[in-house]
Amino acid sequence: AEAIGKTLAESGTEVDVRPMTDVIDLTPYRAVVAGSAIQSQQWLPEAMQFMRTNQAVLAQKPFAAFLVCMTMALKNENYRQGVTDWLQPVRALVKPLHEGYFAGKLEINKIPSFSNRLKFHISVLFGVWKEGDHRDWNAIRVWAESLKPVLVVSQSGIDG
C-alpha cells in the first residue's frame, strides 16, 4: 500500500495511506484503492469488514483493489491462476475498476497460528515456498502508475 501511495503521489495525486481499521469516513476521498494480504485464500477479516462497512460509499467512487499473497511467488502458472478468484467476495460487494495481484513476503516466525507455521516450515523444507521477501516492487509501481488514468477518467464519468 505504501509503494502504491508513493507512486501515485509522485505523479501528483494527493494520497493518504491508512490502515483500513483507522478509516472512519470515506466521503472526503474522490477514489479509493484498497488491498489485503491473503490468508487461507481470503482477504483478511478486517479488510472484508472495511468493504462491508463502506460498500455503499465505495460503489459511488472509483475503486481499485489489490491482494498480496505467497501464491503469486510460485513459478507454476496453474497455481497462480486461481488467485483472481480470491477477489470474488470483494467484487460481490463493489466492482473494482482495476485489480492488482502481487507476491508477498513470507516470515514464518510472524505467522500467528502454530499449525500454519508448521505447515509453512514443512512446505519450505519441500521447496514449495521460500522464506523472504518476494514482492516485485517494479510490478507494484507499474500497476500503481496505471491506476491514475483509470481513477481520474472514472471520476470524470461519475461527476459528469
Instruction: For the chain, state the CA radius of gyration.
Output: 17
CA angle 46, 37, 77 (to 5 degrees): 145
Query: Which of 30, 34, 8 lies closest to 21, judged by CA?
Result: 34
Q: Grade residue 81 by pLDDT with cuts at 50, 70 and 90.
A: confident
Give me the mean pLDDT over the 54-60 stretch. 95
**What per-residue confidence (pLDDT) applies to 121?**
85
**Nearest-angstrom CA–CA distance, 31 and 151:** 7
Tell whether the model's pLDDT for residue 155 goes beyond 60.
Answer: no
Which tens digits make up the pLDDT trace of 98-122?
999 999 988 888 888 888 889 888 9
**What per-residue confidence (pLDDT) applies to 74?**
83
Query: What is the residue type of 29?
Result: Y
Q: For 69-136, where are the alpha helices, taking DSSP H only?
A: 77-81, 88-93, 114-125
Query: Could you tell me if 15 and 8 are in contact, meaning their C-beta atoms sit under 8 angstroms apart?
Result: yes
Q: Grade residue 91 by pLDDT with cuts at 50, 70 and 90.
A: very high
Starting at the edge strand found earlier in the chain, the sheet holding 42-43 runs 42-43, 32-39, 63-69, 98-103
**What per-residue confidence (pLDDT) applies to 100?**
96
**Nearest-angstrom CA–CA distance, 68 and 132:** 14
Return the number of other C-beta atoms located less than 10 Å from residue 86's C-beta: 18
Q: Is 159 helix (H, G, I), strand (E, B) or coil?
A: helix
Q: Grade residue 39 by pLDDT with cuts at 50, 70 and 90.
A: confident
